[in-house]
Amino acid sequence: MSASLPLDGTVVVVGASLAGLRAVQGLREHGFTGRIVLVGEERHLPYDRPPLSKQVLAGIWPPERTVLADGEALQKLEVEAVLGQRAAAVDAESGRVTLEDSTTIDADGVVVATGARPRRLPGTDDVTGVFVLRTLDDAIALRQRVLEAGDAARVVVVGAGFIGAEVAATCAGLGCRVTVVEAMPTPLAPALGELVGGACAALHLRHGVGLRTGIGVTAIHPGGVRGDVTRAASAGAGSVELADGSSLVADVVVVGIGVVPEVSWLEGSGLELDNGVVCDAALFAADRVVAAGDLARWTWRHDGDEQQLRIEHWEVASQMGVAAARSLLAGRADAAPFDPVPYFWSDQYGLRIQVLGHPEPSDEVAIVDGALDADDGKFVAVYGRRGRLTAALAISRPRQLMAFRPLLVAGASFNDAVRLLDG
């Protein structure tokens, strides 16, 4: 087992987004006085991703408003920021990090926080008008394309997960004619279950967004037409060909079909890679190496249970960055387990979907406030597994939602959660 990190040593943080920045801040807040090198593939200062699909895409925020730490803030943290350059390799045993330009840094500790990259539809990398949304540059380019397409631009969103749904809602708010295509029969069912997923599907329809579920995309054509789309109707536009032989006219196509952990640079590092970087309960992937953010698959010990989790949400990444820093400073033998109450949110059509805990699609679900078919779309649901409360979800009912947090911390029963709002 590793000893504690020397406070005057060297730490390399690979990944200059939220989790990486929080790790830097955590190191300084907990007494680390040594050298910190923050390596980021993007040229931008650390920035916030949630506004990209909402405020930035809508034009409500300028891109610079997303910055989490400007040059002055990084200077105060006494961090060496190496931006616009990838890390190429790390040796888990020695702690040596090699950058893309062959520079090497010998570190006493390494924080791996390179996040995830969006999945792409095969054959669409160079197709004009096809976008993913993960980075600030992605958001800027997508907004520009939507504006260029003009009034009532035809936008096809492939994937009805959280990113796809947020893009659809934002584009609808800009006056676009939006259609969402989802391969699953029910949007968000893998994350929220069939019952709540169905309510999320109804949000799209209620706001005039087309929804095609249970059907895949076979091809995206940058111009001209295929299938049953007439050439007159699609002048200057491309088309999205679906598995049933039909096509959708599209001025803009956004692919939101999930992400994969960005671990390719870690091949041969000595770390275990399996749907992310495999970590113990304290986020150690090796004696010198901790992981944080979307790529960290850690052992979550909670409520007498133990499972390997990888969670792709802002609040968990933020907490995990700080926890990874604490663990590195304490050393593997003495580090405390990372045991959060997971939380995430998604803003769609003027409503906020919030979730506490970690629901699974097979969980029992009860609606405890409001109704799934309410005109205002607002309700509260609780999830249970093996008689225990696992999660609570609310649509624009934040006060009611937060009442369930103490129950999740205490490992309360599902029945207690169902009755909570009765009083």
Q: Are residues 137 and 250 in the same domain?
A: yes
pLDDT cut 70: percent of the chain above it:
96
pLDDT exceeds 80 at position 223: no
Q: Are residues 299 and 221 in the same domain?
A: no
pLDDT at 224: 44
- Residue 337, domain member (yes or no): no
The mean pLDDT of 111-119, rounded to a whole number, is 97
Q: Are residues 232 and 268 in the same domain?
A: no
Q: Are residues 244 and 319 in the same domain?
A: no
Q: Which of 238, 255, 272 is at the close of a domain? A: 255
User: What tokens appear for 49 in the block?
Assistant: 């991703």
102 Ramachandran zone, left/alpha/beta (phi>0; psi -120 to 50): left
The mean pLDDT of 360-386, rounded to a whole number, is 93
- Residue 363, domain member (yes or no): yes
| CATH code of the domain covering residue 93 | 3.50.50.60
Q: Are residues 87 and 147 in the same domain?
A: no
**DSSP letter (8 states) at residue 256:** -
Q: Alpha-carbon distance 99 to 82, whole Å?
A: 10
Comparing CA positions, the residue from 109, 101, 112 lying closest to residue 16 is 112
Q: Alpha-carbon distance 61 to 52, whole Å?
A: 9
Q: Are residues 148 and 35 in the same domain?
A: no
- Number of independent structural domains in the chain: 3
The mean pLDDT of 47-61, rounded to a whole number, is 97
Q: pTM above 0.75?
A: yes
Q: What residues have CB less than 8 Å from 149, skipping those under 6 apart? A: 155, 176, 251, 252
On whether the CB atoms of residues 279 and 98 are closer than 8 A, the answer is: no
Q: Which of 217, 237, 255 is at the close of a domain? A: 255
- Residue 90, domain member (yes or no): yes
Q: Alpha-carbon distance 415 to 355, whole Å?
A: 19
Q: Are residues 154 and 173 in the same domain?
A: yes
Q: Are residues 139 and 242 in the same domain?
A: yes
H or E segment at 189? helix 189-206
Q: Are residues 167 and 234 in the same domain?
A: yes
pLDDT at 150: 87
Q: Are residues 60 and 170 in the same domain?
A: no
Q: Are residues 264 and 228 in the same domain?
A: no
Question: How much is the mean pLDDT over the chain?
Answer: 93
Q: Which of 221, 239, 255 is at the close of a domain? A: 255
| CATH code of the domain covering residue 394 | 3.30.390.30
- Residue 5, domain member (yes or no): no
On whether the CB atoms of residues 137 and 52 are closer than 8 A, the answer is: no
- Residue 339, domain member (yes or no): no
Measured at the alpha carbon of residue 385, what is the angle toward residues 382 and 386, in degrees to the nearest 5? 135
37 Ramachandran zone, left/alpha/beta (phi>0; psi -120 to 50): beta
Comparing CA positions, the residue from 224, 207, 157 lying closest to residue 187 is 157
Q: Are residues 282 and 232 in the same domain?
A: no
User: Could you give the 3-state DSSP secondary structure of residue 14?
Assistant: strand
pLDDT exceeds 70 at position 204: yes
- Residue 20, domain member (yes or no): yes
- Residue 233, domain member (yes or no): yes
Q: Which domain holds residue 152?
A: 130-255
Q: What residues have CB less than 8 Å from 320, skipping those under 6 apart? A: 19, 22, 283, 292, 293, 296, 298, 338, 340
- Residue 340, domain member (yes or no): no
Instruction: Read off the pLDDT of residues 233-270 as tens digits, 9 standing for 90 and up.
Output: 344 468 999 999 999 999 999 999 999 999 999 999 99
H or E segment at 321? helix 314-330
Strand blocks (E) in 100-237? 104-106, 109-112, 116-118, 130-131, 154-158, 177-182, 210-213, 217-221
On whether the CB atoms of residues 264 and 271 are closer than 8 A, the answer is: no
